[in-house]
Structure 1
């Protein structure tokens, strides 16, 4: 019902947006924030000076199900027409690394508290800071407040903020302070990093993003690949090879790099292909396409590791032999494969061993 009153299409031009009531409302809200924050003062254009043009940017924000939950509109200056130290001086936007986000979520799961999110309505309008800010030496985007044995964590990702606390009063105080000082939207539990918070832990999934990039680069109707890259054919510079569209190649690499946030199995293949972004050849594009074909393969990856006490001594990772229709089924396949594999391994080792001597025990 909520999505039915929002625009489902992202306008490409202002003339199209002006025909959509939801887009007009979002544009009016953007201009209102400019007025409230005193972003600019209208003056006469000086002689022999050229004004910097502006541009409306339209973007629909979707939830993990792909449903439009917000029509976002931004009025921005055209950056390529500006000159540093003339039109602007220092520009800074705190962006948390994905490793920091994962560490944040791991700690939240360990401490068993829920992570929430806030969205700043006008990210770059709060530029003047009179207060002195103390940031950490390692992560400039993480803010911590301790109260005896409890803790409040706040992580900033441009115009999105995630936060959580082991103490309800700390959480309420922070939420109230942000609401009073800034124009923000309270978004509820964290979902924008494709995070799912459950009773048994916090999970990161980019399944929806995989479907989007497969559709974007037209890999929805191709044969799948069982591995992200060929094991027998090394990736070389190929100076005499035929050149390909460098912008397409870089776009594909960029889309895949974002996916490594939750897919370490393709990290090596992507990094190998990324080395040739300056002058990509047909052979390099072929290897990038193979990664996409690998992503289309719906077979899950079975992974396992064995510990002796708290020491890691063995691990494995391989594709499952069947296609699972659900994550639960994939987990059962992985557990069955793991147990079967090690029972066969133990049986084989037992055939090669002699009977233990008296007074010795088998581990």
Structure 2
């Protein structure tokens, strides 16, 4: 939580100001997540401060919210090309850019109220998670930035899934150059060769140009969620 608040401060996400009379504030809450790899080992714990965007009113507090993301069909097409042409496949975990936003006030987190400024609110200068307009602003920022690097959008196969980024290339130097470009523009984590993305394990045998996809970990999690992980498997007749 302290790391998240430190990030908010470094990125100057808000200013503490007196809330104008009659202005509606958006509340906030903490969301905790444990990130695991394909073997269910804990990679890291994350705490994220998010806005209670469900209290915002359409056409009053926000307008457009549409933000395209990649489909699983797009993912399978890319994996087919990676296997067929023996492409290098790397993965990056991005943190959505908090883009400029106006006229939104958020109440201070009750866990981090600034002493002596209890009556002030957070006037958001940049978007945060769960604001209704947040995902669209992240997409617009990413789209503008990546186009400046001479990338062109594939209308049928969008390759950005929220903040999970896959990079496939026949030129390893170009791939590394692209990763450096993304890291210089966004707060990203370089994961290296892709092996687990969107709950899907990626298994490769580059000598045989074979690539396999598995959702074993995802399926096991579903079974555990519904207390069926100890059931016996059987084949239908």
Same fold (TM over 0.5): yes
Question: d(CA) in 2 for partners of 1:185 and 1:92?
Answer: 26
Pairwise CA distance, 1:52: 1.0
Unaligned runs of 5+ in 2: 100-136
Cα root mean square deviation, aligned: 2.4
DSSP-derived class of the 2:25 partner: coil
Question: d(CA) in 2 for partners of 1:87 and 1:36?
Answer: 26
Judged with a 3 Å threshold, the aligned counterparts in structure 2 of structure 1 residues 52 and 69 are, in CA distance, closer, same or farther, namely: same
Match of 1:164 in 2: 168
Please point out which of 198, 222, 225 is paired with 1:213: 222
Corresponding residue pairs, total: 187
Pairwise CA distance, 1:225: 4.1
Contact 1:114 1:197 in 2 (8 A): no
Q: Which has the higher strand share?
A: 2
Contact 1:95 1:158 in 2 (8 A): yes
Deviating 4+ runs (over 4 angstroms): 130-134
Pairwise CA distance, 1:188: 1.3
Q: Does 1:135 align with 2:153?
A: yes
Unaligned runs of 5+ in 1: 1-26, 142-154, 232-363
| 1:170-219 residue CA offsets vs partner (Å, 9 max, x unmatched) | 11210111111111100111122322223332211111122111111121
Larger radius of gyration: 1
Pairwise CA distance, 1:92: 4.2
Q: Does 1:185 align with 2:165?
A: no
Judged with a 3 Å threshold, the aligned counterparts in structure 2 of structure 1 residues 194 and 93 are, in CA distance, closer, same or farther, namely: farther
| 1:156-178 residue CA offsets vs partner (Å, 9 max, x unmatched) | 11011000211122112101111
Contact 1:34 1:125 in 2 (8 A): no
Question: d(CA) in 1 for partners of 2:87 and 2:233?
Answer: 40
Contact 1:95 1:156 in 2 (8 A): yes
| 1:282-329 residue CA offsets vs partner (Å, 9 max, x unmatched) | xxxxxxxxxxxxxxxxxxxxxxxxxxxxxxxxxxxxxxxxxxxxxxxx
Match of 1:203 in 2: 212
Match of 1:77 in 2: 51
Question: d(CA) in 2 for partners of 1:208 and 1:69?
Answer: 15
Match of 1:51 in 2: 25
Question: d(CA) in 2 for partners of 1:80 and 1:86?
Answer: 13
Question: d(CA) in 1 for partners of 2:192 and 2:171?
Answer: 17
Q: Which has the higher helix share?
A: 1
DSSP-derived class of the 1:194 partner: strand
Contact 1:60 1:71 in 2 (8 A): yes
Question: d(CA) in 1 for partners of 2:85 and 2:226?
Answer: 41
Q: Does 1:30 align with 2:37?
A: no
Question: d(CA) in 1 for partners of 2:69 and 2:25?
Answer: 30
Pairwise CA distance, 1:76: 1.0
Q: How does 1:251-266 map to 2 (within 5 A)?
A: none
Structure with the bigger RCO (C-alpha within 8 Å, sep 6+) is 2
